[in-house]
């Protein structure tokens, strides 16, 4: 899809029913995100989510979908070493039905990414705002606004691609930086709050449905409003991503 210039529509998902609806709506990638800690479990961050939680929800999504690529987050502190990472990734794939695992972090996780890729485990990297590092980042803030941090994110993208990452998520970075990274790497770049120039977009399911608790993120949109049902809302999101009308300037930094 990236090679053909077709935008990739991604959506978070946590159970079999919504997986089936998303697949029927034409969604390309289902991300079983550790965001489930906030939207499903009621925590105020993703940090309490356990590996067992991710395996359970991933297996539910796998039973509800057959066409979509299933990407699953590795939770907080579950990939601190290559050995730990490969053991936990193997469980996500073997027990949870994951087809790709997602890891947060830059060059510090290079060896883990290389080790997983060397053993045939597809890896999605995640740069920019890293929810698992929210305390170290001082909160949920846009990353890469100054030249130094932008250069570091840019170089981290190149480093992780070289280490073997097959896809990259950019979260809450300036649109100009995301565009430069997308142009510089040969793997698909999926944005969330990263402007319109990425190869695809991802939204948290609950943001798409307009049921976000608290303040809705700037980069999100309620696609259910004014439509006849959940599948219609997902279809509207899919069309907006494919046509390039979402995200618009109002969703970007």
pLDDT at 240: 98
User: Which of the residues are catalytic?
Assistant: 171
Tokens of 191: 């944005």
Using the predicted structure, report yes or no on whether residue 216 has a pLDDT greater than 90: no
Torsion, CA 132, CA 14, CA 84, CA 201, rounded to 10: -60
Using the predicted structure, report yes or no on whether residue 138 has a pLDDT greater than 90: no
Pick the range with the lowest mean pLDDT from 21-35, 118-132, 133-147: 133-147
The full length of the chain comes to 253
pLDDT digits (tens, 9 = 90+) for 1-53: 999 999 999 999 999 999 999 999 999 999 999 999 999 999 999 999 999 99
Using the predicted structure, report yes or no on whether residue 137 has a pLDDT greater than 90: no
pLDDT at 103: 98
pLDDT digits (tens, 9 = 90+) for 228-243: 899 999 999 999 999 9
pLDDT at 204: 98
pLDDT at 215: 83
pLDDT digits (tens, 9 = 90+) for 83-98: 999 999 999 999 999 9
Identify the band that residue 159 occupies on the pLDDT scale cut at 50, 70 and 90.
very high
Domains in the chain, CATH or no CATH each: 8-251 (3.20.20.60)
Q: Are 203 and 237 in contact (CB under 8 A)?
A: yes
What 3-state class would DSSP assign to 9?
strand
pLDDT at 136: 86
* C-alpha span between 215 and 203 (Å, rounded): 15
Tokens of 13: 């998902």
* CB-CB neighbours of 247 under 10 Å: 24
């Amino acid at each position: 899809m990236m090679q053909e210039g077709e935008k990739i529509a991604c959506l978070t998902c946590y159970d079999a029913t919504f997986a089936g609806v998303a697949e029927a709506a034409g969604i390309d990638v289902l991300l079983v995100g550790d965001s489930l800690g906030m939207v499903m479990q009621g925590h105020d961050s993703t940090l309490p989510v356990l590996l067992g939680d991710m395996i359970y929800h991933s297996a539910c999504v796998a039973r509800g979908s057959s066409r979509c690529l299933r990407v699953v987050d590795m939770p907080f502190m579950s990939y601190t070493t290559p050995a730990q990472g490969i053991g936990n990734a193997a469980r996500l794939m073997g027990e949870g039905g994951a087809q790709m695992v997602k890891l947060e972090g830059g060059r510090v996780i290079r060896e883990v990414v290389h080790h997983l890729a060397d053993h045939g485990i597809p890896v999605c990297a995640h740069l920019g705002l890293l929810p698992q590092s929210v305390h170290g980042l001082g909160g949920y803030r846009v990353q890469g606004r100054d030249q130094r941090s932008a250069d570091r994110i840019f170089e981290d993208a190149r480093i992780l691609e070289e280490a073997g990452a097959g896809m990259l998520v950019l979260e809450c970075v300036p649109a100009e930086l995301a565009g430069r990274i997308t142009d510089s790497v040969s793997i698909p770049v999926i944005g969330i709050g990263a402007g319109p120039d990425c190869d695809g977009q991802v939204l948290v399911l609950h943001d798409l449905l307009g049921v976000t608790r608290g303040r809705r993120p700037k980069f999100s949109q309620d696609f259910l409003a004014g439509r006849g049902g959940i599948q219609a809302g997902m279809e509207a999101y899919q069309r907006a991503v494919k046509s390039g009308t979402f995200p618009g300037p109002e969703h970007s930094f």
